[in-house]
Amino acid sequence: MARRERCSGCGINMLVSPEARVVRCSECHTLTNLVPMNARPGRTRYNGPPRMHENPYENGPSPQHPQYPQPRPSLSPVPIYGRKRALLCGVNYHGKSYKLKGSINDVKSMKYLLVETLGFPNDSILMLTENEREPSKIPTKQNIRKALKWLVYGCQPGDSLVFHFSGHGTRQKDYNHDEVDGFDEALCPLDHETEGNIIDDEINDTIVKPLTRGTTLHAIIDACYSGTVLDLPFVCRMNKEGRYMWEDQRNPLFYKRTSGGLAFCFSACDDHQTSADTTAFTGTNVRTGAMTYSFVQAIQNERRLTYGHLLNAMRYTIGDVSKAHGASQEPQLTSSDKFDIYSKPVVL
């Protein structure tokens, strides 16, 4: 006989079979571990959730990427309901031939924007840069991975999450064939030469898929080749006149949805373009990423910008700088859902 169980994500009641161990919510897609009826108090001993090699979807095929409860990350989340939380990573690659000079400046500018303009609590912002004293806050691959898990851990309705990365980006061959262009986009941590890059598949698995209903993530990625670095399914293609259309990059063989939440990504450029690290905006020797500068300035100048107006403002600001550098850099917007970009306001 079927029984009712409550979804651990959105809380709705679900009808499940008596022996079911795991069920996926049809509304928010959250996985809920269950105790079978014959394993409840006074009955046979419950042996725990299914092992990784077992298929919990006994009544149908499993999705491409089944989600299991994640262990609590070492960086404790901010215990505030409806909280704002941000992860800011700036990598200058000190001492390398490919070093940058503006990435840490970008992180400082973004933190100022979040705290002073957008009301983020100062202690809810985690910064990873080479200038940090704590070893756990140096932007190595391991530390960035841990911080990404911290960002989305325990996310609840009303949460506003921000991920900002300023540094090098790259492309590499797509080996699992989920990319339209045949390449995975990736971010380069400080130790990428020895530890490797963080590719878009992993970023999507870590901070996009766990987003529960009512949770919103905004990513601001100031790096080369970063157009689809979150692997979000919809790409906003905009022409010079500001007209746009959504390009659907969903692949039915790969599970790229959120768990009911919303994800948006502003990237410095398209997947085949590079981004500028420049002094053009400051009028001094202080370098900034063109994309981060244009994003911060647009938000500060007009608080109630829509996504379309923000994207246009960034492209207008960056246009002259790109021409001066002989480069082609057009900021991009990708999203977990399609919407009217000129009517929806940006709310961080």
Q: Report which DSSP code applies to 306.
A: B
More reliable by pLDDT, 19 or 317:
317
In the numeric block, which tokens belong to residue 333?
A: 């917007």
pLDDT for res 294: 93
Per-residue pLDDT tens digits for 144-161: 999 999 999 999 999 999
* The model's pTM: 0.78
pLDDT for res 182: 77
Any catalytic annotation for residue 218?
no
Distances (CA, A) of 294 to 86, 144, 213, 263, 272: 19, 25, 30, 21, 20
Is the per-residue pLDDT at 329 higher than 80?
yes
Cα–Cα distance between 31 and 23 in angstroms, integer?
6
Partners of residue 31 on adjacent β-strands: 24
Is the per-residue pLDDT at 252 higher than 90?
no
Q: What φ, ψ does residue 305 adopt, rounded to 5°? A: -70, 145
Partners of residue 212 on adjacent β-strands: 259, 260
Per-residue pLDDT tens digits for 299-310: 999 878 999 999
Give the lowest-confidence range in 69-73, 111-115, 123-127, 253-257.
Answer: 69-73
The amino acid present at 103, given as its one-letter code, is S
Cα–Cα distance between 255 and 336 in angstroms, integer?
12
Cα–Cα distance between 126 and 6 in angstroms, integer?
33
Catalytic residue, chosen from 25, 28, 224, 265, is: 224
Strands 183-187 and 169-173: antiparallel
CATH top-level class for 84-335?
A: alpha beta
pLDDT for res 306: 97
Catalytic residue, chosen from 7, 29, 89, 168, is: 168
Any catalytic annotation for residue 89?
no
Helix, strand or coil, per DSSP, at residue 188: coil
The average pLDDT across 3-25 equals 66
Distances (CA, A) of 204 to 75, 238, 302, 337: 20, 24, 30, 15
Is the per-residue pLDDT at 134 higher than 90?
yes
Per-residue pLDDT tens digits for 209-234: 999 999 999 999 999 999 999 999 99
pLDDT for res 45: 29
Helix segments in the chain, DSSP class H: 103-112, 141-152, 192-195, 200-203, 290-301, 307-324
